Chain A
Amino acid sequence: MQTTFWGIYCVWLRYFKVFRKSLIYGLVTTFTEPILYLLSFGFGLGSLIGTIKVAGMTLTYKQFVFSGIVAQTVMFQGFFEAAYGSFIRMYYQKVFQALAVTTITIPEILWGEILWDASKASFSVFVILLIGCLTGNFSVLGSVIVFPFCFIFAMLFASLGLLVAAKARTIEEISYPQYLFIFPMFLFCGVFFPLETLPKYVQWFAWLLPLTSVASIIRSCLLGLPVIPISILITTIWLIILITWSRRAMINRLVK
């Protein structure tokens, strides 16, 4: 079906208007969580641990965990906005259905949704990067380079959220992937500690999940670590699969 930038922009703008209208709510939900993680794990735990060795380089734990929180923010903000947000818009508010009988087409609605979710996640990422740079934990150049990549990674997790919303029969069912997929990734994909500390087979498994690669690429950019080539491949594969699958699933859900 016809897809134009204008149509996608109209959808994106609808989300932005709502965000701007309830700005306080938007700011609290967008910025509080990553800042709390930074304070607790970064400044709190980070001050206790001192330095660690990653890929032959010595880093402060604060640097390590700060960069991990960038990856975690990309995932949480992208996934939750898309999963709960798009479920509410599709199931309760019927925003998608109302848009789809105007000159906006369903493919445009779904692109607008994913791009908005990624934009919102990027707002959060921006703040973390800013704090990281100001506190001297990130390289400024690395932060500038990583920012557009974070947007793309957020699209990956937003697509995952959209897929979950398309498959969930009730809003409660979104909890399954949240507890069985998102939280394990949050804890075991290299956000808080280097994967090398885990048993070999757990490491292999962790590398199959998207967050490990995403965290690895983000950390490489921010801290000047060598990029692991397979992480780019894994991220690309997840991105293509999730975007294609989520869009197809949501179209099947909406259109009979």
Chain B
Amino acid sequence: MEKYLSENNLLVVENLKKIYSSKKSSFTAVDDISFTVKKGECFGLLGPNGAGKSTSMNCITGFYPINHGKILINNIDVHKSPKLARRFLGVCSQDDSLDTDFSVIDQMVTYASYFGIDKKTAQEKSESLLKRFFLDDKAKENVESLSGGMRRRLQVARALVGDPQVLILDEPTTGLDPEVRRELWDIIVESREKGMAILLSTHYMDEAERLCDRIAILHNGKILDCDTPQNLITRHAGTNIIEEEIRPGMKWKRPPNIEDVYLNLTGRGLNIN
């Protein structure tokens, strides 16, 4: 454990194992994964649906109990001291979990109170976040009246209201239009600049390649490889230009990307020369 203990490692996941068991069967959803996320680093978990991304996220937030391993947020074990550890954690879950009983601003202020933030600070913080997320003109409106893209932005804004050091974003841009997607990318980059450790799960390869300092390829609950996007590409997809037949009779040439890495690692690869 000592090797991970460093001021810079805000999130440590060590030998995480999660088994779903029922009376009839048991299924290993996350199989012994380890990684760390440093201050000011964006770490991507990349994998298809069912790879174990959301399960890992739910274990890392301390919401699900784990079968083996350890999760440290700011050097605090989230399963032993959830209240203390989660003081430093901001989460945007994959499901829309906005509280529809509140208006946009009340949503933020109430959520801030769960982190022990006093009302005045919460109000100021919420207002400035809503402004940054272009939601300030919607502050008094009910959550129900917001569009899908606005709701997602609000959910990310809410994750930031407690001044987290570790930010967990579970597929934050799934189903969003390109404009909102880019807005969220800007905010993720900004948060990283501010020194947050960001754990991002996605199944968009371009998003992972663009935003993440390091990427772990997750498949069937295991990390197949973990490195910077460039190193992963060089290692698993080579440096040669790839010629691809995108439909009969039409070929195009492009440099290798993370998608090739993913497809090669999971055994569904293209034939690269």
Residues of A with Cβ closer than 8 Å to B? 1-2, 4, 7, 10, 13-14, 17-18, 21, 93-95, 97-105, 255-256
The answer to whether A14 and B64 touch across the interface, beta carbons within 8 angstroms, is: no
Q: With a CB–CB cut-off of 8 A, which chain A residues contact B20?
A: 256
Q: With a CB–CB cut-off of 8 A, which chain B residues contact A17?
A: 102, 106, 110
Query: Can you list 10 A-B contacts with CB-CB less than 8 angstroms, sorted by A residue number?
Result: A21-B101, A21-B106, A93-B100, A95-B101, A98-B98, A101-B89, A102-B162, A103-B86, A104-B83, A255-B65
The answer to whether A98 and B106 touch across the interface, beta carbons within 8 angstroms, is: no
- B90-111 near A? 1/0 per residue, CB < 8 Å: 0101011111111000100011
The answer to whether A98 and B101 touch across the interface, beta carbons within 8 angstroms, is: no
Q: A21-B102, A103-B86, A105-B83 are in contact. List 5 more A-B contacts (CB 8 A).
A: A17-B102, A95-B99, A101-B86, A103-B87, A103-B114
- A93 and B99 contact, Cβ closer than 8 Å, known pairs A17-B106, A103-B114, A104-B114: yes
When chains A and B are docked, how far (Å) is the Cα of A14 from the Cα of B102?
Answer: 10
- Which B95-153 residues sit within 8 Å CB-CB of chain A? 95-102, 106, 110-111, 113-116
Shortest distance between the CB of A6 and any CB in chain B (Å): 8
When chains A and B are docked, how far (Å) is the Cα of A98 from the Cα of B62?
Answer: 12
Shortest distance between the CB of B148 and any CB in chain A (Å): 16
| Contact residues of B: prevailing secondary structure | loop
Shortest distance between the CB of A225 and any CB in chain B (Å): 42
Residue B61, interface by CB 8 Å: yes
The answer to whether B81 and A18 touch across the interface, beta carbons within 8 angstroms, is: no
Q: With a CB–CB cut-off of 8 A, which chain B residues contact A256?
A: 20, 58, 64
Category for how many chain B residues contact A: 20 to 34
Shortest distance between the CB of A105 and any CB in chain B (Å): 6
| Contact residues of A: prevailing secondary structure | loop
Q: With a CB–CB cut-off of 8 A, which chain A residues contact B114?
A: 10, 99, 102-104
Q: With a CB–CB cut-off of 8 A, which chain A residues contact B110?
A: 14, 17
User: Which of A1, A93, A97, A102 is the most central at the interface, judged by chain B CB atoms within 10 Å of its CB?
Assistant: A102
Q: With a CB–CB cut-off of 8 A, which chain B residues contact A105?
A: 82-83
Q: With a CB–CB cut-off of 8 A, which chain A residues contact B93?
A: 94, 97-98, 101
Shortest distance between the CB of B249 and any CB in chain A (Å): 49
When chains A and B are docked, how far (Å) is the Cα of A1 from the Cα of B101?
Answer: 27
Q: With a CB–CB cut-off of 8 A, which chain A residues contact B61?
A: 101
When chains A and B are docked, how far (Å) is the Cα of A99 from the Cα of B63?
Answer: 10
Q: Which residue of B lies closest to A108 (CB)?
A: B83
When chains A and B are docked, how far (Å) is the Cα of A105 from the Cα of B61?
Answer: 11
**Interchain residue pairs A-B with the least CB separation, the first 6:** A102-B114, A98-B97, A94-B97, A101-B91, A18-B101, A101-B61
Q: With a CB–CB cut-off of 8 A, which chain A residues contact B102?
A: 17-18, 21
When chains A and B are docked, how far (Å) is the Cα of A7 from the Cα of B100?
Answer: 21
Shortest distance between the CB of A49 and any CB in chain B (Å): 44
- A103 and B106 contact, Cβ closer than 8 Å, known pairs A2-B81, A94-B97, A255-B64: no
The answer to whether B101 and A102 touch across the interface, beta carbons within 8 angstroms, is: no
Q: With a CB–CB cut-off of 8 A, which chain A residues contact B86?
A: 101-103
Q: Which residue of B lies closest to A93 (CB)?
A: B100
- A103 and B99 contact, Cβ closer than 8 Å, known pairs A10-B113, A17-B106, A255-B63: no
- B52-77 near A? 1/0 per residue, CB < 8 Å: 00000010011111000000000000
